[in-house]
Amino acid sequence: MRADVYWNLHEDCYSIRVKGKVVQHARQLIVENPTFVVQPAGRKRVLETRRKNVHAFVRGDVTVVRHQPRRPAGSVGVTYNPYESDAFVRRDDGSKIGEASQAVLRTERGRPRIYAVERR
């Protein structure tokens, strides 16, 4: 299913949104052909008000999995912090990442973790 996925701070899990409506929550999932989206107006509002809102998400073909998926070989950690960057970035070198061939979204010790296999 093509969807937007974001970390839900209130539920401590990922929310899966299709056509603007949350249809499911999950703790781990796989996204094929993901794009990493940051909406500038939402980020601006966060910077002005210092209050979080849903403005950044991973968009792609989502598959919810029951077991904790392994970190894919050759993957890089991905993160987003609206106070530090206007885009999702690689954890290792801080360079921006806009798309990948696959992303694994997991929950590790109650925190969101994203691993992406970059396109070659």
* 72-117 confidence digits (pLDDT tens): 889 999 999 999 999 999 999 999 999 999 999 999 999 999 999 9
The pTM of the full predicted model, rounded to 2 decimals, is 0.94
What is the overall mean pLDDT for the chain?
Answer: 95
Q: Which residues contact 116 (CB under 8 A, 6 or more apart)?
A: 34, 36, 75, 76, 78, 97, 100, 102, 103, 104
Per-residue tokens: 84:
């530090």
pLDDT value at residue 11: 93
87 close to 80: Cβ distance less than 8 angstroms: yes
Structure tokens at 48: 């002005």
Task: Map out the domains of the chain as residue ranges.
Answer: 2-117
Contact 91, 49 (CB under 8 A): no
Helix (H, G, I), strand (E, B) or coil at 45: helix
For range 16-32, the mean pLDDT: 97
